[in-house]
Every structure is written in structure tokens, then in C-alpha cells.
Structure 1
Amino acid sequence: MIRFREAGAVALVSLGLFAAPALAADLLPPPPPPPPPAEPAAIGGNWYLRGDFTASDFRNPKDDTLAGTPGAPIVALRLGSTQGYGGGVGYRFNSFLRADVTVDARSRSRFRDFSSRTLFTQGFNQEAGKLDVVTGLFNVYADLGTWWGLTPYIGAGIGFAHKRFHDSWSGTTCLTAFCGDTQPIYAIGAQGFDPRGNHSATTFAWAAMAGLSYEVGAGVSIDASYRYLDIGKARTGFDAFGFNTRIKDIAANEFRIGLRWAFGGPLGSLVPTPTY
């Protein structure tokens, strides 16, 4: 009988030991829920990238020959049309204001001019060369509203223009044996060409523009615009006689077409689009 009592006591003690953790667990507060999965961070918010093709129609520059330089006045200055590519990065501040930084490189533009003391009746001089232009501009734009997905805008930019004048030369062509002199010392025709050195310069540049963009979706917009670009002056190096070619008021009418891509999704999801 005593053994049965001892066995029962042992069983009760064992049951109590197993039940104690369960009671303690019931008294503790529940564990906190697991943290929610992290959402992917936005890549760039209102930032955007752009790429453009540019066709540049250079206006006729002016002669910048230094006062006191001997020789006939330079006339018929011409810079040939050219084209190039560029790109940039920008930021949209709100539904109507944005800004970007762009860099554009153009293929070489061919330059030429003429000069003659005798109005081309006896002979003339010709100067020629090639001009490469790279521009970097900080631009600010005002979007003027959106109609049927089309957004017209205006803008302005300031920055720099790097110009390289190269492969330049000058030459004389005689139409008579006198070629402007009192003695017939030249033969009729071209008298040879004198090469002029290369020269590079970086100067201030500014631009004014107007354009139209159309958002096609997924943050991509087609952008077409006109830009007036002023890049200042340029000159060649010197030839063996100490002469060079100097031009000023270099400007271009540029027509551009390209794409803009907004980081992190369509621009419409980032900034409310005004409706009219």
C-alpha cells in the first residue's frame, strides 16, 4: 500500500513539472509579430535622363581680324551645317519647372572666307578650315501645360563652348598676271596654300529654346525642340607669315529630337499632370 502511495506521489510531482512550463507560457505576453518585408527603394524620384540628336545650321559669323592687321577685308564668311549627339541628366521640381545639364558634341563644320583689294577683278585670297564644337549647358525649362498628351515648353541655358579650329589654310588665286601689284610677278591661277596652326579655346555660351514633348509611357517621353545657340569667338593658329583667321558672333539654329526617361516610373506617377 505504501508503494502505491509513493508511486502516486511521484506521478503527481512529474505531472506538476510538465504543467509548470505550460502555465508559465500562458502567463507571458505573446511574441511581437515579424517585421514586414522591406519595400524596394525608389531609384531616383524625379530625376530623368535624356539623349538627343542635333542638327546645327550655323549662321554666317563676322570677321574679327585685329585692327592694324595688313590685308584686304574679309567677306563671304561661311560655316557649314553639321550634326551631332548629346545627353544629360535632369530633375523635375514640380509640374511645370524642371532643369537639366546637357553635353552635345557636333561633327566638324567647314569654314571659308574670301578677301580681295580689287573686288575680285585681278585676284583674291581664300581662307578655310574646320571647326569642332562641344557645348555643356545648364538649362531651366517651364512646361506650359498638357493637352492630349502634348506638353509645350520654353527654356534657357548657360554654360561653355569648347571650339577647335584645325586643318586651316590660306591661299591666293590670281585672275590676271598683276594680282593687285603694279608689276606682273604672278602667274594666272592658284599660287599655293599656306597652312595655319590649330587652335582650341573654351568660352561662355548661352541658349534659348522652345519645344514640345509627348509621354509615350513607362516614363519615356519624345522631345522635339528648336534651340538658338551662341558660342562667341574662335580663331586659327598662325601661318609662316604671322597671320591667322579670327571670327566672332558664332551662332547656330539647332533642331533637336530625342528621348527623356524618368527614373523610378512614369513622370505622371511622380508629379500630377495639369489638365485643361
Structure 2
Amino acid sequence: MFVSHRLALAATLATGTLLGALTGSFALPGAATAADLLPPPPPPPVRAEPVVIGSGWYLRGDFTQTWYDHPRDDAIPDPSDPGMPPLVGLRLSSEAGYGGGIGYQINPWLRVDATIDQRGTSSFRGYSSRSVFQTGYNLEAGKVDVLTGLVNVYADIGKWYGFTPYVGAGIGFADMSMRRNYTQTTCLIDGCDGAAGTGPRDPAFRANHSVTTFAWALTAGVSYDIGAGFSLDAAYRYINLGRLRSGLDEYGGLTRVKDLAANEFRVGLRYRFADGLLPTAAQNFGN
């Protein structure tokens, strides 16, 4: 028994010597300590997420078709001529226009933008008659240019299959001018204005005049996300433009109108910088 113990001890020492020779150290089995173990690898560095500043900015371009409402005569009564009737049948021709702007998406449902829109030159006309068009009438006509600048706020009402309906309101200014304005009398009977003959008389031209007024608008529309940062946009807009007048003619007369407003259909394209040229990842509530 004693001999077998000595043989086992000798075998153990021999094994330890052999392992030490192979590893460059000598240790008995089970004699390793915590100091002999390799330290754990350091944790990976924590990378801060990049902060994207201004990621909601977008540009827009729009085509506009404008249908003007019928304004009302705003002539100041002349005490020396109390019988002068107001203009009736006031009309401005429908015109196309264009515009653009820059905006910012504050959060998924709220955005703002600033827009400039220039409409085509509209033809204006209105009529008056002291005899209720029995003996003659007077025509007032000219050209009207309208440019608006608005700051708008929109509420985007969710997204369904790529479509985003929205409503909005805006305030700003309207820069309007009346050009090539004139007044002209037409006699239906001989001598209706004290001069012989019938038909149109020579026109009295009025000076050009520009005015800047307060403007406001209400909008309802829908946009469609076509990807790569682009969205198609179509909207109805009601815009109130205020008052407009011409310059004076040689007799001191002028044309004045109020309650000038328009119904507009707008279609355009928006480009959002944050989306780059990659498809937009957006939440669709409809699927």
C-alpha cells in the first residue's frame, strides 16, 4: 500500500514536470489562482447617436389656378354727386399662377411653411348706370396683378396607404396692383351724356396704383408620398386679399373695390431633405 502511494505521487510530479516543460511553468493540477487567469475583454465603447439638426426641412413648388370671387364697390360717396350709382357686375378673370416656399416638419402631425405665390394678370371690369342701363352705362376696366406671401401652419391627419390629408391656415400680405385702368361711357340713345350720337365715348385713363394689404387663407388638401423624399401635394385654398384701388384719372375719379377674395386649386411637389434619395420610412395607419 505504501509503495502504491509513492508511485502515484511520483507519477503526479512527473506529469507536472512535463506540463511545466511544455508551458514554460511548473504547477500542480488544481494549483492555478485567479491571478493566473486572463482579464476579461473591455466592454465595447458606447457610441453616441448622432443628433440630426434641421432634419425636417423641406422645399415646395406649386402650380395655382385662381378663381376670384366677385368683389364689391368701395367707392367713397361724392357729396357733390349723390346720384352716382355703385359698380355692379364686378368680375376678375380666372388666372393660373405659380409659387414656392420652404417649410419645416415639427413633428409627425405638425408643420409650418412660408410661401410666395404669383398669379397671372387678371382682367377686371365693372359697370354703373344712372339710368339703370336705359339710356347708357359706364364701364370701368383694367388689369390686376396679385402676389401673396403667407406663413402657414398645417395639421397632418395621419397617413393611410401613403396618403396624408391635412388642414391649414395662413396669414401674411398681398401685394396688388391695378394697371391700365380706364373708365368709358357708352350711350344707348343719342346725347345720353350731353354729346351728340350714340356708342362708346373716348375712355378716361387712370394712373397705375399698387397697394399692400393683410391677407389670410384657409387650406385643406392631401399629399402622397412617392419616396426618395418627394411628395405630391394637391389642395384647395380660400384666400382673402382685402381692398384694391386704381390711381386717379384727369377728372379725379378712381376705381375702388373691397372684399377681394379667391378660391384656388393648388398642385405641387414637396422635397424633404431628411429622406435624401432613400425610400421614406413612415407609419401607415391604414394597413
TM over 0.5: yes
C-alpha contact 2:161 2:285 (8 A) present in aligned 1: no
* Rounded Cα–Cα distance in structure 1 between residues aligned with 2:279 and 2:195: 78
The equivalent of 1:236 in structure 2 is 246
C-alpha contact 1:174 1:186 (8 A) present in aligned 2: no
| Partner of residue 254 from structure 1, selected from 254, 258, 264 | 264
The equivalent of 1:197 in structure 2 is 207
Against the structure 1 CA distance between its residues 269 and 45, is the aligned structure 2 distance closer, same or farther, given a 3 Å change threshold? Answer: farther
Q: Tell me if 1:49 matches 2:62.
A: no
Map of 1:33-112 to 2, 5 A cutoff?
44-68=54-78, 70=81, 71-112=84-125
Map of 1:143-182 to 2, 5 A cutoff?
143-179=156-192
* Rounded Cα–Cα distance in structure 2 between residues aligned with 1:227 and 1:271: 29
Report how many aligned residue pairs link the two structures. Answer: 235
Q: Tell me if 1:206 matches 2:216.
A: yes
The equivalent of 1:26 in structure 2 is none
Deviation at 1:97, TM superposition (A): 0.3
Deviation at 1:44, TM superposition (A): 4.3
Secondary structure of the corresponding residue to residue 244 of structure 1 = coil
Q: TM-score, normalised by structure 1?
A: 0.80
Letter in 1 for 2:177: R
C-alpha contact 2:245 2:257 (8 A) present in aligned 1: yes
Q: TM-score, normalised by structure 2?
A: 0.77
* Rounded Cα–Cα distance in structure 1 between residues aligned with 2:186 and 2:233: 48
Against the structure 1 CA distance between its residues 150 and 270, is the aligned structure 2 distance closer, same or farther, given a 3 Å change threshold? Answer: closer
The equivalent of 1:124 in structure 2 is 137
C-alpha contact 2:66 2:94 (8 A) present in aligned 1: yes
Deviation at 1:177, TM superposition (A): 1.2
* Rounded Cα–Cα distance in structure 2 between residues aligned with 1:108 and 1:235: 15
C-alpha contact 1:206 1:230 (8 A) present in aligned 2: yes
Per-residue Cα deviation, 1:39-88 (whole angstroms, up to 9, x for no partner):
x9968411000000000000000000012263232111111111110000
Letter in 2 for 1:118: S
C-alpha contact 1:210 1:227 (8 A) present in aligned 2: yes
* Rounded Cα–Cα distance in structure 2 between residues aligned with 1:106 and 1:170: 24
Letter in 2 for 1:254: E
* Rounded Cα–Cα distance in structure 1 between residues aligned with 2:281 and 2:151: 22
Unpaired segments ≥5 residues, structure 2: 1-49
C-alpha contact 1:95 1:274 (8 A) present in aligned 2: no
Secondary structure of the corresponding residue to residue 249 of structure 2 = coil
Against the structure 1 CA distance between its residues 270 and 95, is the aligned structure 2 distance closer, same or farther, given a 3 Å change threshold? Answer: farther
Secondary structure of the corresponding residue to residue 264 of structure 1 = helix
Letter in 2 for 1:213: S
C-alpha contact 2:161 2:284 (8 A) present in aligned 1: no
Deviation at 1:269, TM superposition (A): 7.9
Per-residue Cα deviation, 1:98-134 (whole angstroms, up to 9, x for no partner):
0000000011111000110111111110000010000
C-alpha contact 2:228 2:279 (8 A) present in aligned 1: no
* Rounded Cα–Cα distance in structure 2 between residues aligned with 1:237 and 1:68: 17
The equivalent of 1:35 in structure 2 is none
Per-residue Cα deviation, 1:156-185 (whole angstroms, up to 9, x for no partner):
000000001001000100010131x6xx63
Secondary structure of the corresponding residue to residue 275 of structure 2 = coil
Q: Identity of paired residues, percent?
A: 51
Deviation at 1:187, TM superposition (A): 1.1
Per-residue Cα deviation, 1:213-254 (whole angstroms, up to 9, x for no partner):
000000100000000000000000000000000000000000
Against the structure 1 CA distance between its residues 55 and 215, is the aligned structure 2 distance closer, same or farther, given a 3 Å change threshold? Answer: same
Unpaired segments ≥5 residues, structure 1: 1-39
